[in-house]
């Protein structure tokens, strides 16, 4: 049974809505390819899961513990007493696996944003000129001749200067990831215009994830969980922080 290690970077999960936590629970417990239980997960057999599901907030520590232990597996660390590694170590391993450049002294949130931007860059590179135009327009970049570098620069600039821009990006990335990885569609009531971005981005995200990011290798098959888990956590953190402002 996974045992939670006190982790400042995952504490915010205790304030997330049950609907948001359900995304992580689904990813942790079931293989999205065939909907079967993952043989390495222990969450679904825990007492609190059986007692409270689907009120996930009541056992958010167990959810966090699963991320920590999947991360320990992916970097070939031995479990000790059912404990894994801290989330930041899991995140850094995912970044190294996916080629994300980061500085070790950066804040966890900054590293997560770099991961999201790398995912976006990889996905934009799979788009046609027409798709780039549609995505750029729907994201409000006001670019007259959108290219991958220009779109990334515009979004990076907006994110650095505005928590709202980071929130918009997280809405698009979260909804797209959930659609691609979990096969779900999340309702977006507040920003209906972002549905265009999600629709255009979904295909390229699927390509990006399937061509390298989620390839299971002998060194770390658990990355099929940790890569999308870190992406989801990154999006949930941005939304939590924006709503807390």
- Domain with 63, as residue range(s), is 11-243
The Cα 89–Cα 73 span in angstroms is 12
* 2 within a domain of the structure (yes/no): no
Inside any domain, residue 80: yes
Residue 30: name the closest of 226, 186, 233, 225 by CA.
225
What is the per-residue pLDDT for 39? 87
Dihedral in degrees, nearest 10, Cα atoms 232, 164, 206, 203:
150
- How far apart, in whole angstroms, are the C-alpha atoms of residue 242 and residue 240? 6
Residue 5 lies in a domain: no
Torsion of CA 91, 210, 156, 158, to 10 degrees: -100
| DSSP secondary structure string for all residues of 171-230 | HHHHHHHIIIII-------S-TTHHHHHHHHHHHHHHHIIIIIS---TT-TTHHHHHHHH
pTM: 0.92
Q: What percentage of the chain exceeds 70 in pLDDT?
A: 91
Q: Is residue 170 part of a domain?
A: yes
Structure confidence at residue 1 (pLDDT): 74
What would the pLDDT profile of 69-90 be if each residue is shown by its tens digit? 988 764 444 445 568 899 999 9
The model's pLDDT over 2-47, given as tens digits with 9 standing for 90+, comes to 889 999 999 999 999 999 999 999 999 998 888 899 988 999 999 9
Number of domains forming the structure of the chain: 1
């Amino acid at each position: 049974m996974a045992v939670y290690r006190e982790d400042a970077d995952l504490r915010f999960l205790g304030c997330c809505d049950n609907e948001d936590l359900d995304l992580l629970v689904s990813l942790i417990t079931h293989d999205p390819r065939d909907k079967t239980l993952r043989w390495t997960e222990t969450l679904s057999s825990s007492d609190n899961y059986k007692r409270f599901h689907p009120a996930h907030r009541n056992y958010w520590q167990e959810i966090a513990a699963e991320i920590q232990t999947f991360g320990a597996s992916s970097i070939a660390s031995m479990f000790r007493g059912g404990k894994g590694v801290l989330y930041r170590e899991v995140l850094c391993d995912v970044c190294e696996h996916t080629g994300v450049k980061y500085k070790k002294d950066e804040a966890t949130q900054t590293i997560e944003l770099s991961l999201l931007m790398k995912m976006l860059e990889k996905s934009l590179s799979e788009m046609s000129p027409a798709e780039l135009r549609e995505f750029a327009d729907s994201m409000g970049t006001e670019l007259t001749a959108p290219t991958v570098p220009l779109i990334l620069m515009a979004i990076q600039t907006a994110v650095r200067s505005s928590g709202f821009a980071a929130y918009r990006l997280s809405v698009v990335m979260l909804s797209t990831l959930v659609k691609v990885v979990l096969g779900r569609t999340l309702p977006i009531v507040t920003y209906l215009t972002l549905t265009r971005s999600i629709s255009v981005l979904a295909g390229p995200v699927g390509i990006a994830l399937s061509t390298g990011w989620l390839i299971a290798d002998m060194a770390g098959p658990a990355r099929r969980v940790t890569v999308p888990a870190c992406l989801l956590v990154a999006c949930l953190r941005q939304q939590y922080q924006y709503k807390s402002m």
